[in-house]
Structure 1
Amino acid sequence: MSQFIESIKVEDQETFLIEFHQQRVNQTFAHFGKEGSIDLAKIYKNLEHDEDGLFKLRIVYDLDKKFRTQMIPYAIPEIADFQLVENNSFDYSFKFEDRKELERMKMKSRSEEIIIVKNHHITDTSYSNLLFLKGKEWFTPSTYLLNGVQRQSLLKQKEIKETEITLQNIKQFSHFQLINSLNDFDKNFIYPIDKIINLPGSDEYLDL
């Protein structure tokens, strides 16, 4: 049976974006024709976590409502370089625990992290959604692989906008940043666009 994963930010004993995580879990159960769900807030409460600091609460669950948890200390990584990787068949509509294909793409690349390109459109990295800066405005690709909770929250708050970002227009953006449930929208933690080592007009893309 497929297993799914939620990674929830816990900082100083407080959970973040839990309602978005719960909505995604509920949608996963409903999509696969299962009634009910698991209660993420209750799972966290039962852990009786009493440590301050930043943690990732990792919950792996299946459609029989079996789950296991890990509370992992977390630090936001700084990444040396990125590579555009073309894969037109990859699908990650649900947050599956199985990341073999993502890891395979990373292993074949020449960079620390990958940006997955699907049908010439920018999607996500191997573990995050993306934001791109043009002028003073931040945009997120409309062609995401997974509609992450941080992405949903920022769009709802109108802090970012959704747009089509492709191989043809990516160089119109000056900087980018990675967002997920643990990596917040942070205008001070951004990368210049040339951190992508194979922008159009430079090296060949990786076609996987």
Structure 2
Amino acid sequence: MSQFIESIKVEDQKIFLLDLHQSRVNKTFEHFGKQGSLDLAAVFKNLDHNEDGLYKLKITYDLDKNVRTQMIPYAISEIDKISLVENNVYDYSFKFEDRKELERMKQKAKADEIIIVKNNHITDTSYSNILFKKGKDWYTPSTYLLNGVQRQHLLKNKKIKEAEITTQNLKEYSHFQIINAMNDFDDMFIYPLSKITNLPETSEYLQV
């Protein structure tokens, strides 16, 4: 049976964006025709966790409601090398635990991180949504692979906008940053677009 994951931010014993995580789990059960869902608030309440600091609560579950939890100390890591990778068939509509194809793409690209291109459209990195800066505004691709909880939160609060971002118009943006449940806006981890090693006009991006 397929297994799914939720990675949830816990800081100083407070859980973040729980409603959006719960909604995603509910939709997963509904999509695969299963009654009921998993109660994430109850899972968190039953944890033996009384430490301050930043943690990632990783919840692995299946559609029979078998659950495994890990509370992992977390620190944001800086990206050194990021590359565009083309994959026109990859689908990640649900947060499956199986990440073999994502890891294969990263290994072939020989990069710390990848930005997946699908039918000439920018989608996500291997573990996050992505934002691009134009002028003073930040935009996220409308052609995401997974509609992440941080992405939904920032759009709902009008901190970012959605746009069609392609290999043809990518150079209209000046900077990028990555976001996920653990990573909100962070001024320390904003990268110039030139950080991408294989922008289309300088070389062919890698097909995998």
**2:154 — aligned with what?**
154
Deviations 1:140-173 (A, max 9, x none): 0000000000000000001100000000000000
Aligned residues: 208
**2:28 — aligned with what?**
28
Matched, 1:51 2:51: yes
Q: Please give the residue correspondences for 1:1-208 in structure 2 after superposition, counting only pairs within 5 Å.
A: 1-208=1-208
| Cα distance in 2 between the residues matched to 1:31 and 1:204 | 37
| Cα distance in 2 between the residues matched to 1:100 and 1:87 | 14
- Describe the SS at the equivalent of 1:9: strand
Q: 1:81: how far off?
A: 1.6
| Cα distance in 1 between the residues matched to 2:71 and 2:188 | 27
Instruction: Give the stretch that moved more between structures: 121-130 or 187-196.
Output: 187-196
Q: Aligned partner of 2:167: which letter?
A: L
Q: 1:101: how far off?
A: 0.2
Q: Aligned partner of 1:31: which letter?
A: H
Q: 1:203: how far off?
A: 2.0
TM-score calculated relative to the size of structure 1: 0.99
Deviations 1:105-144 (A, max 9, x none): 0000032110000000000000000000000000000000
| Cα distance in 2 between the residues matched to 1:110 and 1:197 | 11
- Describe the SS at the equivalent of 2:187: coil
| Cα distance in 1 between the residues matched to 2:137 and 2:74 | 29
- Identical amino acids, percent of aligned pairs: 72
Contiguous gaps of at least 5 residues in structure 2 = none
After superposition, the CA RMSD in angstroms is 0.7
Contiguous gaps of at least 5 residues in structure 1 = none
| Cα distance in 2 between the residues matched to 1:187 and 1:17 | 21
| Cα distance in 2 between the residues matched to 1:177 and 1:124 | 11
| Cα distance in 1 between the residues matched to 2:18 and 2:37 | 14
| Cα distance in 2 between the residues matched to 1:202 and 1:37 | 48
Q: 1:55: how far off?
A: 0.3
